[in-house]
């Protein structure tokens, strides 16, 4: 994926009845990204057919780097091996922020992501060390040639979201518990976006856009703003949720305490292949992932 900017802001003062005021606590733009994220090189916890590479390996093989090394605000990219046959798993990148966060407004400006490739599973998410007790927020996620973004929470028992009219997506599964009855294993509470501009090929064709995630004690909201349709305060670099942001693409809220289920989360970016999600998506094809070089397949 190619990232133009990634901001993380924490709430400082809550305005009465309406919106929170935020102050910038971390800017991951440019070279700050690689200084603020660790490269994960262990076996994929989601059982993907993948080999995650170190910073040094990823940089030397063109899987991670910068788009314009002569500009202090240059974008970063992370990708996968698109050339070699990979029977032991395709080379890729998974990174996690060195810091953890409790409540935040996370802004990510993304220009390109994997899309339309059989077996692929790219994601931008937040997760706690004690999973699922500390929670997981999937901000961007999709598999294969999925057309629109999936936004999902994963928790232990006791978190069920309401299907209200305060978001533009469609509620797919309401129970965030990874072992919830009457839902596929680890489905979580998931809201599917209704716009093809939010994921994969159509996202890329439109030049990407900005994802904004607001996490408070009361709710978790996710917005997507297409390129050229950014709210003024986002475009100016001073993002703050307001009426100008419109209805969020997803709103996770219900008769449960957010803070009981989401604590001290890291930001994670990765692209894996097949793995545990394949049980939910039978169209995955292991042979394709093992042996077929793929096209442009990176997050930028």
Cα pseudo-dihedral 130, 20, 167, 111, rounded to 10: -80
> Which position has the token pair 């709430």?
11
Segment among 17-21, 211-215, 224-228, 273-277 with least mean pLDDT: 17-21
User: Is residue 14 within 8 Å of residue 219, measured between CB atoms?
Assistant: no
Number of domains present in the structure of the chain: 1
The CATH number of the domain holding residue 80 is: 2.60.120.200
143-184: per-residue pLDDT in tens? Answer: 988 999 999 999 999 999 999 889 999 999 999 999 999 999
89-120: per-residue pLDDT in tens? Answer: 999 999 999 999 999 999 999 999 987 778 88
Instruction: Please calculate the CA angle 6-222-127 and round it to the nearest 5 degrees.
Output: 70
Q: How far apart are the first and last CA of the chain?
A: 3
Q: What are phi and psi of 191, to 5 degrees?
A: -120, 125
Tell me which residues are annotated as active site. Answer: 136, 141
Look up the domain containing 130 and give its range. 2-299
pTM value is 0.89
**What confidence score (pLDDT) does residue 106 get?**
94
């Amino acid at each position: 994926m190619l990232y133009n900017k990634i901001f993380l802001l924490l709430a400082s003062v809550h305005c009465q009845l309406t919106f929170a005021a935020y102050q910038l606590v971390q800017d991951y733009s440019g070279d700050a990204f690689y200084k603020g994220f660790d490269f994960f090189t262990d076996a994929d916890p989601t059982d993907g057919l993948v080999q995650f590479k170190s910073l040094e390996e990823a940089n030397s093989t063109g899987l991670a780097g910068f788009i314009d090394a002569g500009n202090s605000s240059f974008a970063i990219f992370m990708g996968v091996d698109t050339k070699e046959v990979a029977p032991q798993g395709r080379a890729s990148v998974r990174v996690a922020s060195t810091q953890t966060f409790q409540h935040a407004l996370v802004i990510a400006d993304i220009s390109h992501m994997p899309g339309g490739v059989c077996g692929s599973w790219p994601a931008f998410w937040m997760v706690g060390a004690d999973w699922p007790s500390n929670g997981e927020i999937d901000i961007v996620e999709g598999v294969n040639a999925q057309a629109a973004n999936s936004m999902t929470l994963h928790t232990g028992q006791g978190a069920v979201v309401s299907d209200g009219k305060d978001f533009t997506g469609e509620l797919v599964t309401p129970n965030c518990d990874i072992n919830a009855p009457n839902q596929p294993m680890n489905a979580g509470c998931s809201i599917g976006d209704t716009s093809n501009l939010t994921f994969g090929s159509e996202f890329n064709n439109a030049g990407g856009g900005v994802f904004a995630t607001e996490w408070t004690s009361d709710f978790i909201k996710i917005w997507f703003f297409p390129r050229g349709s950014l709210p003024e305060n986002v475009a100016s670099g001073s993002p703050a949720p307001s009426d100008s942001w419109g209805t969020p693409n997803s709103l996770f809220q219900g008769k449960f305490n957010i803070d009981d289920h989401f604590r001290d989360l890291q930001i994670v970016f990765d692209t894996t292949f097949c793995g545990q999600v394949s049980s939910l998506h039978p169209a995955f094809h292991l042979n394709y992932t093992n042996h077929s070089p793929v096209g442009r397949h990176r997050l930028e």
